[in-house]
Amino acid sequence: MTNFNFSSVLGQTKMVVAAAASALALSACVSPVAGPGGLYAKPIGTAPVTANPTPYTESLSCMGQFARVNQIAPPRIAVGRILDYTGKVDIEGGRRVTQGASLMAISAFAKSGARLVERFDTSVSELELKYANNKLISDTEDEAFRAIQAGSIPGSDFYLVGGITELNYNIRSSGLEAFAGDTSPGDPKGNAGFRLFVINVGLDLRLVDTQSLEVIDVISYQKQIIGREISAGYFDFFGGVLFDIGGGERAQEPIQLAIRSVIERAVLEMSANLYGAPGPEVCGSLSETVTATNGTTGDYIPAYENLATNNGDTRAEANRWHNRRDASVTGRTRRGLLSGLGN
């Protein structure tokens, strides 16, 4: 006859109820009915928007200052298509490498202080030109239509093209796993593991003279990317209760940031060649007080005469304009909230 242990069943029932209650408590953050603000759930995360530099961004900004100090007129640069030629695709996640390498190159040239002319996406300009040609656009109330001026679009001196040509998985990996414990089933046991792996990305870029189509500069670079995995676990019986605890950490250097780094290094070398900069030593001799609009986030041309008062030199500050981190915005938000409560 089987012995029925009521206390054991009761204990198991309590554990199931506790687990169910915990799951319900977690799911309480999501409601099937939209709240007063029109949301089912409030998104998490309050990290501010920050600059996205690489180890070469500061040197790119230095190139722009070097050109200004030495009164070097930067050439006009156009960026064409820098495509993904690796052919690496995930079944569920799509392309493994960024499809925006051209945009990264545009930002890199902007950081270097180059004069950029748009050739990557001219759809809006072509449509405006079509409307102007049909006399459908006017710029002011006094004008009947916008006049098309010959030679109003500046040409480029050079253009950049190329592609991402390498993505090599698992160039080398190494790891260590260990398990320790007594031979008795009831004694504690533990395990630990550590693993490293390396992949790489590479690209080939070329700078072409727009008028002659002569390739004046070619650069091929690659960058290795490292990742690691750490895990540990503990298994034991204590007071008739099973404990199986595990933890770990996995980290990998971002692939797309590595591609941005390779592009910025290539653009930096090309810019130094165009400006005639002998090497990194020119950055140390530049004064930090040199007025410049190029920085870690890119470059800009003031639309109006407001260079002395605009906010261009604060774009890289993480707390600017953030409603929880910027005191100016925070004070306004609180005043608006109190005013709303008063009404």
- Condensed to tens digits (0 to 9), the pLDDT of residues 130-177 reads 999 998 988 887 778 888 888 889 999 999 999 999 999 989 999 999
Partners of 6 in the β-ladder: none
The DSSP code sequence of 264-279 is: HHHHHHHHHHHHT--S
Helix (H) or strand (E) segment spanning residue 102: helix 101-111
Kindly state the average pLDDT of the residues 237-266: 89
Residue 235 is inside which H or E element, if any?
Answer: strand 215-238
DSSP per position, 147-209? PPPTT-SPPPSEEEEEEEEEEEEEEEEEEEEEEEE-SSTTS-EEEEEEEEEEEEEEEEEEEEE
DSSP code of residue 77 = E
Tally the C-alpha atoms within 13 A of residue 133's C-alpha that lie toward its C-beta: 7
What span, in angstroms and rounded, lies between the C-alpha atoms of 330 and 336?
10
Tokens at 120, concatenated: 């990557």
* Spatial separation of the C-alpha atoms in residues 154 and 166, rounded to whole Å: 35
Specify the CATH number of the domain 49-117+154-322. Answer: 3.40.50.10610
CB 191 within 8 A of CB 223: no
Structure confidence at residue 308 (pLDDT): 72
Residue 36 pLDDT level (bands cut at 50, 70, 90): confident
User: Regarding predicted confidence, which is higher, 238 or 65?
Assistant: 65
> In a 3-state reduction of DSSP, which class is residue 140?
coil
Q: Are strands 89-90 and 189-209 parallel, antiparallel or unpaired?
A: unpaired
The reported pLDDT for the residue numbered 11 is 54
DSSP state of 97: S
Return the pLDDT at 226: 95
Closest CA to 62 of 295, 261, 299, 270: 295
Average pLDDT, the chain: 85
Mean pLDDT of 212-239: 92
